[in-house]
């Protein structure tokens, strides 16, 4: 309900029915001539929740202030630690520099002493070299004098005797060389003759071997080695198979005779292999005419009657 104006000619605007205002809070415009509009100024009421929000704002500001203070203290503490560590490092560096100066002084003193000692050593070495040269000259002179004395004491007869002994020894060596040369020539001739005798036909089958035995003055013995390390003895000779190569038609065997073992490596099939046995008048011959995987077969020939107890191919024939 609006208040009644205090004097005629004044009007009141903007008052609600449920709002109560005191006369002190209501401000009216100064009096005006009749017929002029009248204005009433009202003061805005205070906010209803300001009293509740203000304490919270104070708390938040207080927390922020405390946090800033804590951060500042932590930062100052860290800076103090860094400064302290840097001060310690500077102190350590200073001590090391002092120690380096001291060591440098010690090394310089030692170097000076060593230089003095080295000078003395060089002098001693120069003296030792001089003495060595003098001693070498004296030794050379003594040796020369000894050679002269020996030359004076040596008589002409002794010189002739030494010369005669030397000539005799040289003549003996020349004779030995001449004899050796003759033996070599004889051996070469024997080998040539044996080669001519043995380079005849090669038997590739049993029948060809029998025919060859009838034509030549030699005994022929067959052998068959069916596996690796297999051995067969013919007279005083033992034949042992080592390996075969069917792609290249080659083989390797070991021959045992005269208390020794000799290897015949990578020999071709139907290639004669010659070897000499003590007491034989000519070389023995070994031929492989059949070759398989880890197996070989063939024959061996020897001078007539060299292996009398071994059975040759002619004696093995029925009715021979």
Tally of CB atoms within 10 A around 225: 22
Q: Where residue 282 sits, what CATH number does that domain have? A: 2.60.98
Phi-psi region of 94 (alpha: psi -120 to 50; beta: other; left: phi over 0): alpha
Assigned domain for 271 exists: yes
Whole-number Å distance between alpha carbons of 197 and 193: 6
Assigned domain for 88 exists: no
Structure confidence at residue 3 (pLDDT): 45
The two beta strands, 250-257 and 284-292, are unpaired
Structure confidence at residue 136 (pLDDT): 76
Assigned domain for 156 exists: no
Range of the domain at 264: 206-316
The two beta strands, 27-28 and 40-41, are antiparallel
Assigned domain for 199 exists: no
Assigned domain for 93 exists: no
Assigned domain for 230 exists: yes
| Count of structural domains within the chain | 2
Assigned domain for 160 exists: no
CA 295 to chain centre: 43
CA 287 to chain centre: 49
Q: Mean pLDDT for each consecutive 10-residue tract of the chain (320 residues)? A: 43 42 45 59 56 80 89 87 82 74 69 60 69 75 72 61 64 60 57 49 90 93 95 96 95 96 96 95 95 95 94 74
Assigned domain for 189 exists: no
Structure confidence at residue 189 (pLDDT): 53
Does the CA dihedral 188-193-199-205 come out positive or negative? negative
Structure confidence at residue 31 (pLDDT): 54
Whole-number Å distance between alpha carbons of 239 and 310: 14
pTM of the model: 0.40
């Amino acid at each position: 309900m609006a208040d009644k104006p205090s004097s005629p000619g004044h009007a009141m605007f903007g008052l609600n029915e449920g709002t109560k205002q005191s006369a002190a809070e209501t401000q009216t415009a100064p009096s005006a001539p009749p017929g002029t509009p009248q204005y009433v100024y009202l003061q805005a009421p205070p906010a209803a929740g300001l009293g509740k929000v203000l304490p919270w704002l104070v708390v938040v500001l207080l927390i922020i202030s405390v946090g800033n203070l804590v951060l500042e203290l932590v930062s100052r503490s860290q800076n103090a630690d860094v400064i302290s560590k840097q001060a310690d490092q500077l102190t350590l560096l200073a001590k090391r520099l002092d120690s380096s100066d001291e060591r440098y002084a010690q090394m310089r003193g030692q170097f000076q002493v060593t230089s003095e000692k080295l000078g003395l050593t060089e002098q001693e070495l120069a003296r030792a070299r001089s003495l060595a040269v003098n001693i070498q000259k004296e030794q050379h002179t003594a040796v020369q004098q000894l050679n002269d004395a020996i030359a004076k004491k040596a008589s002409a007869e002794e010189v002739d005797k030494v010369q005669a002994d030397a000539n005799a020894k040289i003549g003996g060596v020349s004779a030995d060389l001449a004899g050796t040369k003759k033996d070599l020539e004889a051996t070469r001739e024997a080998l040539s003759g044996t080669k001519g005798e043995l380079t005849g036909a090669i038997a590739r089958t049993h029948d060809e071997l029998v025919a060859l035995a009838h034509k030549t003055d030699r005994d022929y013995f067959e052998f068959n080695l069916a596996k690796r390390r297999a051995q067969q003895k013919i007279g005083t000779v033992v034949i042992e198979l080592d390996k075969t190569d069917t792609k290249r038609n080659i083989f390797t065997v070991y021959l045992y005779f005269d208390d020794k073992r000799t290897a015949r490596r990578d020999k071709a099939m139907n290639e004669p292999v010659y070897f000499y046995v003590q007491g034989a008048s000519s070389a023995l011959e070994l031929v492989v005419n059949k070759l398989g995987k880890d197996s070989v077969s063939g024959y061996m020939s020897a001078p007539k009657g060299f292996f009398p107890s071994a059975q040759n191919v002619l004696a093995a024939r029925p009715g021979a």
